[in-house]
């Protein structure tokens, strides 16, 4: 009997499934949204939520746990100082998680991701979905500046 066994198997072995979900969540952290099948998005959602909760802790132990879960490591070749800075800014998933993503969700108790359903895939009619972050980190556009509430805008003279 499968009582209390809620893991979506996704047609893969346990190691393959964990590696795929780690890669999917790493892509979500780097690119802010991923398009995948609905079943994979639902499975990756719980992993992403737990990783953001680790990111909100901000401790060294939380960094180690997140790195182990996402199976991340540094660049595999020797890089120059400038290349290392560029890699760290764009590709270092743990840095992006702990310095960009997690602080955006400090005041939020949970529900960091959203799943948007799309049309079916033409080849096999699998339902597609977008997995993305809920808050403003998903959009890189700056917010429009407004005047403070107590000040009125000066009127133009004609």
pLDDT tens by residue, 92-147: 899 999 999 999 999 999 999 999 999 999 999 999 999 999 986 644 444 444 44
Q: Which residue has the higher pLDDT, 68 or 2?
A: 68
Q: Is 155 among the domain residues?
A: no
Q: Which residues make beta-bridge pairs with 63? A: none
Residues 39, 45: Cα–Cα separation, whole Å:
10
What sign does the dihedral 21-99-64-91 (CA atoms) show? positive
- CA dist 156 → 63, 75, 153 (Å): 55, 57, 9
Residue 88 sits in which domain range?
14-137
CATH of the domain at 18: 3.90.1030.10
At 138, list the tokens: 């998903």
Domains in the chain: how many in total? 1
pTM above 0.85, yes or no: no
Q: Which residue has the higher pLDDT, 52 or 151?
A: 52
Q: Is 158 among the domain residues?
A: no
pLDDT tens profile 31-77: 999 999 999 999 999 999 999 999 999 999 999 999 999 988 777 78
Q: Is 143 among the domain residues?
A: no
């Amino acid at each position: 009997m499968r009582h209390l066994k809620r893991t979506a198997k996704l047609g893969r072995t346990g190691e393959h499934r964990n590696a795929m979900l780690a890669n999917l969540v790493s892509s979500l952290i780097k690119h802010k949204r991923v398009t995948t099948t609905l079943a994979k998005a639902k499975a990756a959602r719980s992993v992403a939520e737990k990783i953001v909760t680790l990111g909100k802790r901000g401790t060294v132990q939380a960094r180690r746990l997140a790195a182990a879960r996402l199976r991340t490591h540094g660049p595999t070749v020797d890089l120059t100082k400038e290349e290392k800075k560029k890699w760290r800014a764009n590709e270092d998933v743990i840095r992006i998680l702990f310095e960009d993503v997690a602080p955006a969700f400090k005041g939020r108790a949970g529900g960091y991701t959203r799943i948007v359903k799309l049309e079916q895939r033409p080849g096999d009619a699998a339902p597609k979905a977008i997995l993305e972050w809920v808050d403003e980190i998903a959009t890189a556009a700056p917010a429009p500046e407004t005047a403070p509430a107590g000040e009125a805008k000066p009127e133009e003279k004609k």
